[in-house]
Amino acid sequence: MTALASSNDAPVAVICGGGTLPAEVVEAARATGREVLAIAIKGEAAAALERFEPISLGWGQIGKLFDTMKKAGCHDVVLIGGVTRRPDFRSVAGDLGTLRRLPRIIAALTGGDDSLLVKVIGIFEDEGFRVIGAHEIAPSLLAGPGAIVGPEPAGEAVADMQLARQAVEALGRLDIGQAAVALGGRVIAVEGAEGTDAMLERCAELRRIGRVNAKGRIGVLVKRAKPGQDLRADLPTIGPKTIEAAAQAGLAGIALEAGRVFIAERDATLAAARDKGLFLHGFKGELDGA
Amino acid sequence: MTALASSNDAPVAVICGGGTLPAEVVEAARATGREVLAIAIKGEAAAALERFEPISLGWGQIGKLFDTMKKAGCHDVVLIGGVTRRPDFRSVAGDLGTLRRLPRIIAALTGGDDSLLVKVIGIFEDEGFRVIGAHEIAPSLLAGPGAIVGPEPAGEAVADMQLARQAVEALGRLDIGQAAVALGGRVIAVEGAEGTDAMLERCAELRRIGRVNAKGRIGVLVKRAKPGQDLRADLPTIGPKTIEAAAQAGLAGIALEAGRVFIAERDATLAAARDKGLFLHGFKGELDGA
């Protein structure tokens, strides 16, 4: 019982891939008083992470990774940030601890893209660690409910928001995308494997070529997690690029699921939304109950 | 009773916009024994229509259009083919019959894109005509059930087809798109306002940049009408370009809703599918009953 209760006092290991989010997570987690063991994936982690003095480990040092985490007394692990270069087997075949786990690692690396992180989570769990979501240690990065950047959506924007929410919820139940755009009373774009930024570029193009008839700032991007989505492996996130792409698409604003979407680089993101005149709004739960 | 029963003996007016489909519809309707009054929209109808000796009318000749149809004894009207140039009011302000109907026509032309054809249908109905779907006079152009170009989808392709069907049905109920692509057990692209060809280009790009990991011919495009879709205004259609785009995306095949999707340029489309090694398959109804 003491062991369980002390879980939040033990340091959490944050294994950091690329992008700005890992440093933000480490900082936000430390700000809550939690001790953090920052581990940078060599060749992936961004320079911004360096001020948190991470331990830097390559793909061939998985044995050392587990030893380091165990010595530090870590029980909880967070995986955060992008991995652009899928390691090849030669770089993985490193230290003894890596070699011992190689069959399992190879099995994970040779699966489809989608299941890779889920398999990686399984490897950590087999070692006795508990993989948790970044939002659990850094809740301050999450979108909250209500107006984040005002004004509150009104009139046509409310109708478009409801339409896009319906679309994303229907898609989410089929495990498809996390985002959709409605404009002028119809859903014009739905996210598949291309990601939110590419979908927003498509919306800008649809307006440019006149395939969507719209004047002025109109239309709403909705982004939410899929129902049952494993937020430890894939946490929906927006950032300054999302604002820029939404502004390029001429949208009136962005609505996010409160408590399940990260706002990266919050200061820059909120400033960009204000600057471009876009509202940012947090909503709770599903439209039809829940 | 005689008047109703003779409706199919009366000539049907086919008002032809751009593309190859209008000539195909006129030809297929005549092949069923139906008398057809072909009317070409000036500046829109393709040269291929000329061998059917159409009456050519501009946007300012709407009075003459109605007179011509009435004199020919037409009760049924089909609207088919694209209209790329939305007429401006000056070109519409033509003959007396056009002027008399101008308020109604302007109301139709100034509405949103989506409702234009529905409003045009209303104008014809106000004049006592019955607007019917091209598929009703040219059923031979529709996709039939089962194998259209073999072999029948098997294994992974069946699973992908079911997934994409689920997605399109969920979207269709929300009045969004008519098409989706599933590949390797997940839906990778969903059609919004961009149209099927643009969605297929996106799939090709997703594979090219490695965002979708796939080797060889894999994945299925599903195209179907929305439930309750007005097929008189918008009939889902594939053609040789669809085959080309699906082949570029590396797909294994295409599944179409039987009886509610047109195959344009059937000989060329089927030959292209055979040439590229894509299956074409017709399915009936909805996955969950109906």
Tens digits of residue pLDDT in A213-232: 888 899 999 999 988 888 98
Please name which of B246, B254, B160 lies closest in space to residue B204, comparing C-alpha atoms: B246
Burial B251-282 (b: 16+ CB within 10 A, else e): bbbbbbbbebbbbbbbeebbebbeebebbbbb
pLDDT at B111 over 60: no
Interface test with A, best of B160, B174, B178 (most A CBs within 10 A): B174
ipTM of this predicted structure: 0.82
Q: Label residue A53 by pLDDT band (50, 70, 90).
A: very high
| CATH code of residue A245 | 3.40.140.80
- How far apart CA B240 and CA B268 sit, in angstroms, is 6
Residue B53 resides in a domain: yes
In three-state secondary structure terms, B71 is helix
Residue A133 and residue A204 share a domain: no
Q: Label residue A261 by pLDDT band (50, 70, 90).
A: very high
Q: Which segment of A212-221, B110-119, B205-214 scores lowest on mean pLDDT?
A: B110-119
- pLDDT at position B3 is 38
Summarised one tens digit per residue, pLDDT across range B241-263 is 999 999 999 999 999 999 999 99
- Structural domain span for residue A110: 12-137
Residue A164 and residue A268 share a domain: yes
Task: Round the average pLDDT of chain B to a whole number and report it.
Answer: 87
Nearest Cβ partner for A190 among B113, B114, B176: B176
Residue A277: count of CB within 10 angstroms of its CB: 12
With CA atoms as reference, the chain B residue closest to A189 would be: B192
- pLDDT at position B87 is 60
- pLDDT at position A82 is 80
Residue A195 resides in a domain: yes
- pLDDT at position A89 is 54
pLDDT at B1 over 80: no
pLDDT over 90 percentage in chain A: 63
Domain's final residue, options B117, B137, B157: B137
Residue B182 and residue B129 share a domain: no
Span A78-83, average pLDDT = 87
- pLDDT at position B233 is 80
pLDDT at B289 over 70: no
Q: How many domains does chain B have?
A: 2
- How far apart CA B263 and CA A12 sit, in angstroms, is 59
- How far apart CA A273 and CA A129 sit, in angstroms, is 39
CB-based contact, A275 to chain B, within 8 Å: no
Chain B residues near residue A188 by CB distance under 8 angstroms: 192-193
Phi, psi dihedral angles at A71 (to 5 degrees): -60, -35
Residue B185 resides in a domain: yes
User: Crossing angle, helix B156-173 and helix A156-173, to 10 degrees?
Assistant: 160
CB-based contact, B191 to chain A, within 8 Å: yes
CB-based contact, A208 to chain B, within 8 Å: no
Residue A240 resides in a domain: yes
- pLDDT at position A110 is 57
Residue A146 and residue A133 share a domain: no
**Token reading at B244:** 């080309």
Residue B151 and residue B271 share a domain: yes
- pLDDT at position B84 is 72
CB-based contact, B44 to chain A, within 8 Å: no
Please name which of B93, B91, B115, B114 lies closest in space to residue B102, comparing C-alpha atoms: B93
- pLDDT at position B110 is 57
- How far apart CA A92 and CA A83 sit, in angstroms, is 14
Residue A236 and residue A219 share a domain: yes
Domain's final residue, options A111, A137, A163: A137
Residue B158 and residue B82 share a domain: no
Residue B212 and residue B97 share a domain: no
User: Tell me, what amino acid is at A222?
Assistant: V
Chain B residues near residue A194 by CB distance under 8 angstroms: 189, 202, 205-206, 211
Please name which of A219, A97, A66 lies closest in space to residue B192, comparing C-alpha atoms: A219
B173 and A175: CB-CB below 8 Å? no
With CA atoms as reference, the chain A residue closest to B111 would be: A213
Residue B110 and residue B205 share a domain: no
- Which B positions 136-175 lie with beta carbon below 8 A of chain A? 163, 166-167, 170-171, 173-175
pLDDT at B107 over 70: no
- pLDDT at position A288 is 61
Which strand (E) or helix (H) includes residue A198? helix A196-208
Sheet holding B55-57, edge to edge: B55-57, B36-41, B12-16, B76-80, B130-132
Interface test with B, best of A194, A229, A288 (most B CBs within 10 A): A194
Span A36-56, average pLDDT = 92
Give the E-state strand segments of chain A in sequence order.
Answer: 12-16, 36-41, 55-57, 76-80, 130-131, 146-149, 179-183, 186-190, 220-223, 237-238, 253-257, 262-263, 279-283
- Residues B269 and B263 sit within 8 Å (Cβ to Cβ): yes
Summarised one tens digit per residue, pLDDT across range B42-86 is 888 999 999 999 999 987 788 899 999 999 999 999 999 887 766
**Token reading at B260:** 């509610």
Residue B251 resides in a domain: yes
- pLDDT at position B288 is 61
**Token reading at B197:** 């060809």
- pLDDT at position A90 is 57
CB-based contact, B186 to chain A, within 8 Å: yes
Task: Round the average pLDDT of chain A to a whole number and report it.
Answer: 87
Chain B residues near residue A113 by CB distance under 8 angstroms: 212-213
Residue A254 and residue A211 share a domain: yes
Interface test with A, best of B190, B199, B218, B222 (most A CBs within 10 A): B190
CB-based contact, A112 to chain B, within 8 Å: yes
- How far apart CA B2 and CA A190 sit, in angstroms, is 50
**Beta-sheet pairing, A179-183 with A186-190:** antiparallel
Higher pLDDT, A1 or A220: A220
pLDDT at B99 over 70: no
Residue B127 resides in a domain: yes
Residue B7 resides in a domain: no
Nearest Cβ partner for B174 among A114, A166, A175: A166
Domain's final residue, options B119, B137, B155: B137
- pLDDT at position A220 is 98
Summarised one tens digit per residue, pLDDT across range A104-162 is 666 665 554 445 677 778 888 988 999 999 999 999 999 999 999 988 999 999 999 99
pLDDT at A55 over 70: yes
Nearest-neighbour CA in chain A from B84: distance (Å): 11
Residue B228 and residue B182 share a domain: yes
- pLDDT at position A229 is 86
- pLDDT at position A287 is 77
pLDDT at A4 over 60: no
CA distances B202 to A55, B1, B172, Å, are: 40, 53, 20
Residue B150 resides in a domain: yes
- How far apart CA A141 and CA B85 sit, in angstroms, is 49
Span B267-286, average pLDDT = 95
CB-based contact, B188 to chain A, within 8 Å: yes
Please name which of B182, B111, B170, B159 lies closest in space to residue A180, comparing C-alpha atoms: B170
SS (H, E, C) A23-82: HHHHHHHHHCCCCEEEEEECCCCCHHHHHHCCEEECCCCHHHHHHHHHHCCCCEEEEECE
Span A13-33, average pLDDT = 94
With CA atoms as reference, the chain B residue closest to A205 would be: B194
Nearest-neighbour CA in chain A from B199: distance (Å): 10
Higher pLDDT, B4 or B220: B220
| CATH code of residue B19 | 3.40.50.20
- pLDDT at position A254 is 98
A190 and B194: CB-CB below 8 Å? no
Residue B158 and residue B264 share a domain: yes
Q: Which segment of A51-65, B78-92, B148-162, B184-198 scores lowest on mean pLDDT?
A: B78-92
- How far apart CA B270 and CA B51 sit, in angstroms, is 24
A187 and B170: CB-CB below 8 Å? no
User: What's this model's pTM, rounded to 2 decimal places?
Assistant: 0.86
Phi-psi domain of A57 (left: phi exceeds 0; alpha: psi -120 through 50; beta: other): beta
A192 and B187: CB-CB below 8 Å? yes
Q: Which residues partner with A39 through β-bridges?
A: A15, A55
